[in-house]
Amino acid sequence: MVIKICGLSTPATLDAAIAAGADMVGFVRFPRSPRHLGLERGRELSEFARGRVSRVLLVVDPTDAELDEAIEALAPEILQLHGRETPERVAEIRARTGRPVMKALGIAEAADLARAADYAGVVDRLILDAKPPRGAVLPGGNGLSFDWSLLDGLDPRLDVMLSGGLDPANVAEAIGQTRVRAVDVSSGVEARPGEKDPDKIRAFIEAARAAFAQQDRTAS
């Protein structure tokens, strides 16, 4: 059971996520995002989290040079690809960096979910996010959810993380309906775009942990 808080940008909110029991924290390298971190800021925050939690570097269609630069600065344990990376490009990045890779897929209908099979055996985990609306400048972090019932037919062998529109109020429902074992949140724990709220972070983690525990009780 994994809880990821993505788009952290200050020591205080990063500390709040770690103290509340987050399993992963995400650092965004995408200039168009309000959660984007410069290399030096990213280096400082990543060092602050070192040894306390798994650090995830989120990038969008990076070149090899951009990826090398970001990895050198942030030294993440895990990479998250949130662009249009093909299975071939994902496999190349995974082999080149020697790091586990999570790949985000935008979901709006069953046909989108069918693409998950293309990444089976290539990625370490798939992040199922809401497909951004036409004309959106961000591939994720838009605060939108998708129809969770689409996951009813998902291959149970796939390791997935649910994202998109989650917040403290609906994460328990999402876990209960989809039976996922991992969740990811960004805008749902913000006071405003790019600014995380420590109280919302704590509330989200508490709600997710309780839902995971309920899932285990039901299974047993």
Q: In 23-153, which ranges are E strands?
A: 24-29, 54-59, 78-81, 101-107, 125-130
Place of tokens 């400048």: 137
CB contact set of 214 (below 8 Å; sequence gap of 6+) = 172, 176
For residue 142, give both structure tokens: 């838009």
DSSP for residue 36: B
Which residue, 214, 136, 130, 126, is CA-closest to 176? 214
Residue pair 122/79 in contact (Cβ under 8 Å)? The answer is no
Q: Which residues are catalytically annotated?
A: 6, 129
Residue pair 196/190 in contact (Cβ under 8 Å)? The answer is yes
d(Cα 80, Cα 54) in Å, to the nearest integer?
A: 12
Helix axis angle, 11-20 to 39-49, nearest 10°: 30
CB contact set of 42 (below 8 Å; sequence gap of 6+) = 27, 29, 70, 73, 74
Alpha carbon distance, N-terminus to C-terminus of the chain: 16
